[in-house]
Amino acid sequence: WTLTKIMMLIHFTIVAIIAAADSSRFAVAFSPLRHAARRQSKSSMQMQPIEELADDDLVALPFDGYLTATTTSDDDEAKIQLRLCVIRNQQYIYPLIRHEDDVETDLFLDPRFIEKQISLQDILQWWNANDSSNEVKSELQYYGVGWYGQRPVPSLGGGPGYGAEADEVWSIDEDVLEQLLNEDGVDLPVIDVGMAHGEKARGGALF
C-alpha cells in the first residue's frame, strides 16, 4: 500500500509539472506584451508596410514639404525632407521636436501643429504625386514604437492633480536617435521653449 501511494504521488507530480509547462507556453504565446516587445526591439530604421502602422509608431514623412505645398502659393519645387512624426488615432500625423536643455531622447509634439489634423493618407497622396522617383509608397522608414508618457508643465500654481497641464512625450533609445539623425538624415528640430511653460499659464507665446 505504501508503494502504491508513492507511485501515485510521483504520477500526480509529473502531471502537475507538465500542466505548468504547457500553461507557461500558452501565457507567453498569447501575452499582449509579446507583440509590443517585438516592435520595441527594432532599435534602428526599418521599412514598415503602411497597413501595419499603429498608434505611437514613429515614421519619417515629408511633413514640412506637404504643409508648405498645401497651405501656401509657393510654386517652387517641393522639398522632400523627411521629418520624424508620430501616428495617433490610427490615421493622423504629428511632427515631433526635442526641447533644448532637456533629455535628448524625449520627443514632444510640435506646438505649432498640435491643433491640425493631417491624415497619413493625405501626406502619402501628395508625396506620391511629387516624388521624383515616381514610386508609389507602400512602406515607410520606421523607428519603432515610442514609449508614451506625460510630463507635468510648470505653472504659476498647482501641480499634478490640481489642474496643471501636461506635455505628452514619446521616449526612444539613444541608438535610434543617432540612427535617424546622423545616418538617415531625418529632421528632428530642437526648440528652445525657455520660459514658455511658465508663460503658457499667463497666455504668453511659445516662441
pLDDT digits (tens, 9 = 90+) for 7-37: 776 766 665 565 554 443 333 333 333 334 4
Confidence of residue 134 (pLDDT cuts 50, 70, 90): confident
Mean pLDDT of the chain: 76
Report pLDDT for 171.
95
Q: What cell does 102 get?
A: 532637456
**What percentage of the chain carries pLDDT values higher than 90?**
45
Q: Evaluate whether 180 touches 60 at the Cβ level (below 8 Å).
A: yes
Instruction: Name, of 1-15, 63-77, 103-117, the range with top average pLDDT.
Output: 103-117
Q: Evaluate whether 142 touches 46 at the Cβ level (below 8 Å).
A: yes
Report pLDDT for 50.
93
pLDDT digits (tens, 9 = 90+) for 42-59: 445 689 999 999 999 999
Residue 76 has pLDDT above 70, yes or no: no
Report pLDDT for 206.
46
Report pLDDT for 155.
62
**What percentage of the chain carries pLDDT values higher than 70?**
63
Separation CA 155–CA 164 (nearest Å) = 7
Separation CA 172–CA 149 (nearest Å) = 12
